[in-house]
Amino acid sequence: MNWLAWPFYCLTAFGLAFVVGQSKISLPFRVALAKAGPVGLFLVELLECPGCFGFWCGIAYSFTAHGRGLTLWAPPLWAGTIALGLFTCATNMVLNHYATNVYSRPQ
């Protein structure tokens, strides 16, 4: 993966986390999942947390990309998987903070 792909990856992961966890598009799904019981409510909390969702997106991407050479470096699979999960978690938290606290302020 070249260096230009990293900003694209970060924005794509944040966009996915926003659509799944905070947008009106997925609200009926989240409401139905929350009504399914305590496990459903726990899953909704994970989906609505941009850091949690970003961590699991990073884990999933790492598993799919590692064998295809789409990673920036080549650490052992478990180390790269955890590192990418934490990186995606952090970038989602920063971008969510910017989107909710800085960008949405009244002008």
Quote the pLDDT of residue 49.
Answer: 94
Q: pLDDT (tens digit, 9 = 90+) per residue, 3-38? A: 777 888 889 999 999 999 989 999 999 999 999 999
**CB contact at 8 A, 54 and 17:** yes
Would you list the DSSP string of 2-54? -TTHHHHHHHHHHHHHHHHHTSSSSHHHHHHHHTT-HHHHHHHHHHH-HHHHH
Q: Rounded to whole angstroms, how far apart are CA atoms 84 and 42?
A: 23
Q: What share of the chain is helix, strand, coil (3-state, %, to 5)?
A: 75, 0, 25
pLDDT at 72: 55
Full-prediction pTM beyond 0.85? no
Residue among 4, 15, 2, 1 nearest 91 (CA): 15
pLDDT digits (tens, 9 = 90+) for 43-88: 999 999 999 999 999 888 887 876 665 555 556 677 778 888 999 9
Tell me what pLDDT residue 78 has: 76
Amino acid 30: pLDDT: 95
For residue 43, which of 34, 32, 35, 51 has the smallest C-alpha distance? 34
